[in-house]
Structure 1
Amino acid sequence: MNRTLPSAAALLLLAGAAAADETRAIHQAGAIASPADASSVAAFDILAAHAHRAGRLVTFHITTGGIAGADRPQPAGALAGAPVLSYVWPTSLDPATVGFAGGTGILTLAATSHPDFDDTPLFDENGDGDPGNDGVLWHSHWVVLTPTEGCGAGALGVRDIPDGATPAMPATWPGLPIFIDSPGYTPLFDGPEITVTVPFADPAAVHGAAYDGVTAALRVNANIHAPLLCVTDIFDIASGDLSLPGTID
Structure 2
Amino acid sequence: MLCGTLIATSVALAHDIRAKPNAKVPPAFDITSASASTDGRLATFTMEVTGTAGAQKPKKVGKLAGAKVDAYVWPTKLDPAAVGFAGGSGILALAITAHPDFDDTPLFDENGDGDPNNDGAGWHSHWVVLGEDAACAGGLKVRDISPGQDVLPATAPGLPLALDSPGMSPILKGKSVRITVPVKGAENVNFDAVAAHLQVHEKGEKPLLCVTGTYKVASGKLTLPGVIVKSEKK
**TM-score between the two structures when normalised by the length of structure 1:** 0.85
* Residue matched to 1:174: 157
Unaligned runs of 5+ in 1: 1-27
* Residue matched to 2:105: 120
Determine whether 1:145 maps to 2:130: yes
Tell me if structure 1 keeps the 8 A contact 2:37–2:187.
no
* Residue matched to 1:198: 181
Report the Cα distance in structure 2 between the residues aligned to 1:41 and 1:149, rounded to whole angstroms: 26
> Cα offset for 1:56?
1.1
* Residue matched to 1:230: 210
Q: Which residue type is aligned with residue 159 of structure 1?
A: R
Tell me if structure 1 keeps the 8 A contact 2:188–2:228.
yes
Report the Cα distance in structure 2 between the residues aligned to 1:215 and 1:49, rounded to whole angstroms: 11
Determine whether 1:102 maps to 2:87: yes
> Cα offset for 1:206?
1.2
Cα RMSD for the two superposed structures: 1.3
**TM-score between the two structures when normalised by the length of structure 2:** 0.90
Percent identical across equivalent pairs?
A: 53
Unaligned runs of 5+ in 2: 1-11, 230-234
Report the Cα distance in structure 2 between the residues aligned to 1:165 and 1:52, rounded to whole angstroms: 33
| Deviation digits for residues 199-248 of structure 1 (CA, Å, limit 9, x no counterpart) | 12x3xx21211000000000000011111000001010110010100111
* Residue matched to 1:78: 63
* Residue matched to 1:36: 21
| Deviation digits for residues 30-89 of structure 1 (CA, Å, limit 9, x no counterpart) | 310011001110000000011011241111010001000011111010000000000000
Equivalent of 1:61 in 40, 43, 46 = 46
Q: Which residue type is aligned with residue 216 of structure 1?
A: A
Runs of 4+ in 1 over 2 A off after TM superposition: none
Q: Which residue type is aligned with residue 205 of structure 2?
A: H
* Residue matched to 2:75: 90
* Residue matched to 1:13: none
Q: Which residue type is aligned with residue 227 of structure 2?
A: T
| Deviation digits for residues 159-188 of structure 1 (CA, Å, limit 9, x no counterpart) | 0015x8711100000000010000001110
* Residue matched to 1:241: 221
* Residue matched to 1:213: 193
Return 239-248 or 52-61, whichever deviates more. 52-61
Q: Which residue type is aligned with residue 53 of structure 1?
A: T
Equivalent of 1:48 in 29, 33, 44 = 33
Report the Cα distance in structure 2 between the residues aligned to 1:71 and 1:115, rounded to whole angstroms: 12
* Residue matched to 2:8: none
Equivalent of 1:159 in 143, 153, 158 = 143
Please give the secondary structure, in 1, of the residue aligned with 2:135.
helix
Please give the secondary structure, in 2, of the residue aligned with 1:43.
helix
Tell me if structure 1 keeps the 8 A contact 2:40–2:187.
no
Report the Cα distance in structure 2 between the residues aligned to 1:57 and 1:100, rounded to whole angstroms: 18
